[in-house]
Amino acid sequence: MAIMEHASFGYQVTSFYAVWSRHGNLEELKELVDVAHQHNLYVLLDVVHSHASKNTLDGLNMFDGTDACFFHSGSRGEQSLWDSRLFNYAKYEVLRFLLSNLRWYIEEYSFDEFRFDGVTSMLYHSRGLGQGFSGHYDEYYGLNVDVEGIIYLMLANHMLHEIYSEIVTIAEDVSGMPGVCRPVTEGGIGFDYRLAMEIPDKWIKLLKEVNDDDWKVGDICWTLSNRRWMEKAVAYSESHDQAFVGDKTIAFWLLDKEMYTHMSTLSSHSDIISRGIALHNLITLITHTLGGEAYLNFIGNEFGHPDWLDFSRIGNADSYHYARRQWNLVDDELLKHKYMNNWDRAVNMLEEKYGWLQGYLSWKHEDDKVIVFDRDDLTFVFNFHPVKQPESFSAFLQKL
């Protein structure tokens, strides 16, 4: 993330072919990718082709002295929510510029995958602002649909998959437009995966507003399994929206101030810590196994990082105090962070062994708070009840 030269947070791109110099030079980025490949890791690049910085001195805005060189002129060329400029995808020069940008990062730096940021803004003239997207088809096939934006995404995916057979593309789309993750040859937009952005939002909403004794398992199952047939999703329990200042991470919601006093294995017992770690692990497992066809950890989520993320800015007096992750916590044998990290590792190792795919939800019981589903050759049984192990649950386990 935040690789291209930008003005703010990595999403206000000013120079699409330049690497952000504060992270290092070009050769160091190439070395990073090479070392990752030596360890059999794929490297995914966050691509921002949905909008561009308004900067005129170091960006594309007013490049030829007008507001219409790369962008739509007037209000159509303004993204009001992000205070940025919107590309005019009907121009051949814009298509050449953006498509070449994708090839540049593959051929020059050997990136393996692209995550397209802000796809919802590219799909609709409304930019998705003020829309709830209930799933009705008239929301996706009316005059609000930006055909030019859709055609660019189809071209991009067609070109990438045609030239680079191993490439993977992921769409950040909250609207659930049908066909986003179906091949262009079928009339789809051509992405391989869509980010299941509603899942982390659901977990944080539950943690904020509902006591975990009162969680509705049917509601949880609906959110985790609500995706279009044959369109793959990347599931994740926590995202940057939760881990940045303005909210709290899942671990912070569950453990709160006890995290600073009772995370040592030598400290006195804390019901809050024990219950929080158990729920954190349950959230990880059920999201991983039911939420999609791929899984994402957000830096530190795998071991319950105690703090939020915050970049240096005017609002925090240009402080870098929270602009980091404390990776040392997971390596400290005296801290309970290892229990969450070991669980996360075990879940990923299990998936590596069995490679579970599309899930089948076979049973959910609201009063007992039990959820049962199959993925691949595995059956998963979850009991979200804080104290109850119902007889029906025990009997079901005996049948397995």
Active-site position among 5, 78, 113, 117: 117
Catalytic site residue 172?
A: yes
Active-site position among 5, 113, 172, 310: 172
Integer Cα distance of 149 and 77 in angstroms: 13
Q: What angle do CA 31, 109, 47 make, to 5 degrees?
A: 120
Instruction: Tell me the sheet residues that pair with 232.
Output: none
Catalytic site residue 332?
A: no
Pick the closest to residue 231 from 316, 173, 145 (CA basis).
173
Radius of gyration of the chain (CA): 23
Tell me which residue has tokens 């200042």.
Answer: 245
Give me the active site residues, please.
117, 172
